[in-house]
Amino acid sequence: MDIDFHPGVNGSSPYVDFYPYAPSATAGYAFMALFGLVTVVHLVLMFPFRAAYFIPLVLGGVCETFGYYGRAWSHESRTEISSWALQEMLILCSPPLIAATVYMVLGRVIRSFGAEHLASMRPKKITVIFVLNDVLCFLTQIGGAGVQVTGDPNVMNIGKKVVLAGLIFSLIVFVFFVWIAATLHRRLQKAPTNILIRNPDIHWRRYMLALYVACFALMVRNLVRTIQFGASETSPVNNKEVYIYVFDGFLMFFSMFVLIVYHPGRLIKKARHLGKVADFHEPLTSENRMSDVPLTKYEPRMMAV
pLDDT at 302 over 60: no
Mean pLDDT score of the chain, rounded to an integer? 84
> What pLDDT is recorded for position 298?
45
Element housing 80 (H / E) = none
pLDDT (tens digit per residue) in 180-209? 999 999 999 999 999 999 988 888 999 999
pLDDT at 136 over 90: no
What value does the mean pLDDT take over residues 28-44? 97
SS (H, E, C) 103-128: HHHHHHHHHHHCCHHHCCCCHHHHHH
- 118: which DSSP letter? G
What value does the mean pLDDT take over residues 228-244? 82
- Please name every residue paired with 15 in a beta bridge, in sequence order, or none if there are none: 6
What value does the mean pLDDT take over residues 6-24? 68
* 10-13 CB contacts, 8 Å cutoff, 24+ apart: none
> What pLDDT is recorded for position 295?
47
Question: What value, to the nearest 5°, has the Cα angle with vertex 218 and ends 217 and 221?
Answer: 85
More confident residue, 276 or 125: 125
**Residue 15 main-chain phi, psi, to 5 deg:** -150, 165
Confidence of residue 2 (pLDDT cuts 50, 70, 90): low
SS (H, E, C) 178-197: HHHHHHHHHHHHHCCCHHHH
pLDDT at 164 over 80: yes
pLDDT at 178 over 70: yes
What value does the mean pLDDT take over residues 48-54? 94
pLDDT at 240 over 80: yes
Is residue 50 classed exposed, middle or buried when 0-12, 13-18 and 19+ CB atoms within 10 A define those classes?
exposed
Which one-letter amino acid corresponds to residue 71?
R
Is residue 129 classed exposed, middle or buried when 0-12, 13-18 and 19+ CB atoms within 10 A define those classes?
middle
Number of residues assigned to the chain: 305
Report in angstroms the alpha-carbon separations of 139 from 132, 151, 223.
11, 20, 18
Would you call 15 helix, strand, or coil by DSSP? strand
Confidence of residue 284 (pLDDT cuts 50, 70, 90): very low
Contact 132, 147 (CB under 8 A): no
Angle between helices 250-261 and 25-45 (to 10 degrees): 20
Would you call 82 helix, strand, or coil by DSSP? helix
Q: Sketch the domain layout of the chain as residue ranges.
A: 93-278
Closest Cα to residue 109, out of 118, 11, 94? 118
> What pLDDT is recorded for position 277?
66
What value does the mean pLDDT take over residues 123-146? 82
